[in-house]
């Protein structure tokens, strides 16, 4: 569950991040790409060093993450050179998509899972709680069928769990098109940093920062060798734009790091000519989850929750079609999809001040 207060909505509009601004490191050479996908050759595939001569980063990826594909192997290699440059050839993405969502047994993660399933996609859900995973998986299977939803336990703070999640997804679906990093925590704590316990700080930082890094690492390792490539979406939250987050400073700091990590990964992928994996940002705005509502204890918090917050289903109804549009259009450009834009936020604030709109919509202010 993720919450972004009104003051974190300074950038209006849901716009794409242009590649010229994607990173300080930008590839200046035109790219050509050669890709092969198909039956396994009779001879053993070349070594990873042959794939990426002089590129230790990509050789490291290959050594750690190359899947043993039952139906064949895939090579995506970007070559520099003049003339005839273009994006790498790869299998086009087409629905239904295979989707993996972390922290997806409640809140916005659960709502996203249901919306993808309604669209006909296949979904892997996960959570730390085995009981919640089993309960939610069974409910979704009853609604959408046995062969469209799978669930497993995963604590994103543990590298071994995230690796096991990848193995589980490969076993059930062979590949993942869309990976959404939704798992996050505020330790249900809204208090000044000086009053925050060690346990709460460790919970927030290891889940929101370390967990996100582990998931991004394993998702890239998984996707870079898939014939269809893949898209990773990192969910932001309060503090992601650099504005202060009093009473949940640690949470805001971790969410600020989400944007930086996404930009850095975009730069690394471009620098290393990995052209079939893209990392995006996803902003759900203020969502009426347990995490957000546990902080509705001040007059200001109640005011902004009533004005700006929406239910998980409403937010998912907007986000999922916009996410699916990216692979449908074969786009490989980084995007920042926002539900609650600055214009929408200011419009709602004006309506409240002028007409009293949305007063006491979710919590009593008086």
Active site positions, annotated: 251
Q: Rounded to the nearest 10 degrees, what angle do helices 130-144 and 107-118 cross at?
A: 20
The count of C-alpha atoms lying within 13 angstroms of the C-alpha of 80, restricted to the half-sphere facing its C-beta, is 8
Report the candidate in 3, 23, 40, 168 with the shortest Cα–Cα distance to residue 100.
Answer: 168
Strands (DSSP E) found in 6-106: 31-37, 74-80, 98-101
Q: What is the CA radius of gyration of the chain?
A: 21
Q: Could you write out the three-class secondary structure of 62-78?
A: HHHHCCCCCCCCEEEEE
Question: Any bridge partners for residue 32, and if so which?
Answer: 79
Separation between Cα atoms, residue 275 and residue 358, nearest integer Å: 45
Separation between Cα atoms, residue 231 and residue 162, nearest integer Å: 17
Q: Which residues of 251-281 are buried (b: 16+ CB within 10 A; e: fewer)?
A: bbbbbbbbbebbbbbbbebbebbbbbbbbbb
Cβ-based neighbours of 27, under 8 Å, separated by 6 or more: 270, 271, 273
């Amino acid at each position: 569950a993720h919450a972004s207060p009104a003051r974190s909505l300074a950038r209006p509009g849901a716009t794409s991040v242009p590649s010229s601004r994607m990173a300080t490191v930008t590839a200046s050479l035109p790219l050509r790409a050669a890709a092969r996908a198909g039956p396994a050759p009779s001879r053993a595939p070349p070594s990873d060093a042959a794939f990426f001569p002089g590129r230790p980063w990509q050789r490291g990826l290959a050594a750690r993450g190359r899947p043993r594909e039952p139906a064949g192997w895939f090579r995506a290699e970007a070559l520099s050179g003049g003339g005839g440059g273009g994006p790498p050839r790869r299998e086009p993405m087409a629905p239904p998509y295979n989707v993996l969502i972390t922290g997806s047994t409640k809140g916005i993660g659960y709502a996203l899972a249901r919306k993808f399933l309604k669209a006909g996609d296949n979904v892997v859900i996960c959570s730390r709680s085995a009981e919640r995973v089993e309960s939610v998986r069974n409910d979704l299977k009853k609604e959408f069928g046995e062969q469209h939803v799978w669930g497993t336990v995963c604590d994103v703070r543990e590298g071994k769990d995230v690796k096991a999640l990848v193995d589980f997804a490969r076993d059930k679906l062979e590949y993942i098109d869309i990976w959404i990093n939704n798992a996050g925590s505020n330790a249900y704590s809204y208090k000044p940093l000086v009053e925050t316990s060690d346990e709460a700080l460790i919970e927030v930082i290891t889940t929101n920062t370390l967990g996100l890094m582990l998931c991004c690492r394993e998702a890239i390792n998984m996707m870079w060798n898939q014939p269809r490539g893949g898209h990773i979406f990192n969910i932001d939250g309060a503090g992601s734009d650099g504005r202060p987050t009093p009473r949940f400073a640690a949470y805001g700091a971790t969410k600020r790091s989400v944007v930086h990590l996404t930009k850095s990964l975009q730069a690394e992928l471009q620098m290393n000519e990995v052209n079939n994996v893209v990392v995006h940002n996803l902003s759900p705005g203020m969502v009426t989850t347990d995490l957000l509502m546990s902080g509705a204890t001040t007059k200001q918090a109640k005011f902004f929750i009533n004005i700006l917050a929406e239910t998980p289903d409403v937010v998912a109804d907007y986000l999922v079609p916009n996410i699916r549009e990216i692979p449908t259009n074969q786009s490989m450009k980084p995007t920042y999809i926002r539900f609650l834009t600055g214009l929408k936020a200011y419009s709602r604030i004006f309506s409240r001040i002028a007409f009293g709109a949305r007063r006491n919509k979710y919590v009593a202010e008086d």
